[in-house]
Amino acid sequence: MQVFKTKIELGVFIASCKTRSKTIGFVPTMGALHQGHLSLIAFAKKESDVTLASIFVNPTQFNDPNDLKNYPRNEAKDLEMLLEAGCDAVFMPNEAEMYPEKDTRIFDFDGLDQQMEGAHRPGHFNGVAQIVSKLFDAVQPHKAFFGQKDFQQVAIIRKMTQSLNLPIDIIACPIVREDDGLAMSSRNQLLSSEHRKAVPLIYKTLQKARTLAYEKSVGQLQEWVEETINDSGLLRVEYFEIVDEQTLLPISSFTAGKNNVGCIAVWAGKVRLIDNVTINL
């Protein structure tokens, strides 16, 4: 497995791959890897000749300086995991390499960024688009693989890719969960033991919400989900929105045959977790 720290080094490798007509599958990460990330590597290996991952904690997508400071980092372990997973190459730039000067670009997402994560984390998705577009420019992948846990982010990246006319297929891969249902996340390792025992309630509640959709209105279902999780005493719902799968706009009522997604953000102490499930009639 080759490791590159600069875009120039990476560019030589990419040119070599393309000279040999090799397709490139790309998995961008912020490190602190887990089995969810490795599942993306597995998907990339199946669908590409060369699998390349990146590790870079992107400062422009953090609207809370403490969140950036506390984000888990373990590059040595990350590289070991990627090697064992059969990743071919890793791009590990520093901040100066990716942002030699301030990135002032503002992206237009046609409103996809106005609710849920966008509403609660101002500027977050613009920062995501800044770094992902820079990584796409450096890696020039044929396909890029993202986890469905970040449902809204996948939609944002698809929109950005279309807007920039990039010839890249954006592949959304299924959420990978712990045995107790908790969606795998780098942030899970920051949970206290007490909160770790409590957080499986999030997915358990979302699963139940799928069945209750047949008997409750959208508003009633939202209220039930929030009350059920908040009543644990250890968890606090920041938002629970049921949105149209395509527009990401909140729905006011369920329509048979319409694809909807229930998206949630929950605070477990000082750790913020997100998750989602499909909710269709």
Catalytic residue among 37, 124, 142, 195: 37
Binning pLDDT at 50, 70 and 90, where does residue 256 land?
confident
Q: Between 3.40.30.10, 3.40.50.620, 3.40.50.10090, 3.40.190.10, what CATH number should domain 2-173 receive? A: 3.40.50.620
Question: What is the average per-residue pLDDT within 247-273?
Answer: 94
Backbone angles phi, psi at 27, to 5 degrees: -125, 95
Report d(CA 116, CA 243) in Å as an integer.
10
Report d(CA 76, CA 90) in Å as an integer.
12
> Distance of CA 119 to CAs 3, 139, 144, Å?
37, 30, 26
Domain positions in the chain: 2-173, 186-278
Report d(CA 70, CA 83) in Å as an integer.
26
At 125 the pLDDT is 97
Is the per-residue pLDDT at 257 higher than 90?
A: no
Is the per-residue pLDDT at 29 higher than 90?
A: yes
At 85 the pLDDT is 98
Q: Are 277 and 209 in contact (CB under 8 A)?
A: yes
Question: Nearest-CA neighbor of 271 among 202, 192, 205?
Answer: 192
- Write the CATH number of the domain with boundaries 186-278: 3.30.1300.10
At 127 the pLDDT is 97
Report d(CA 155, CA 133) in Å as an integer.
14
Q: In the annotation, is 37 catalytic?
A: yes
Question: What is the average per-residue pLDDT within 29-42?
Answer: 97
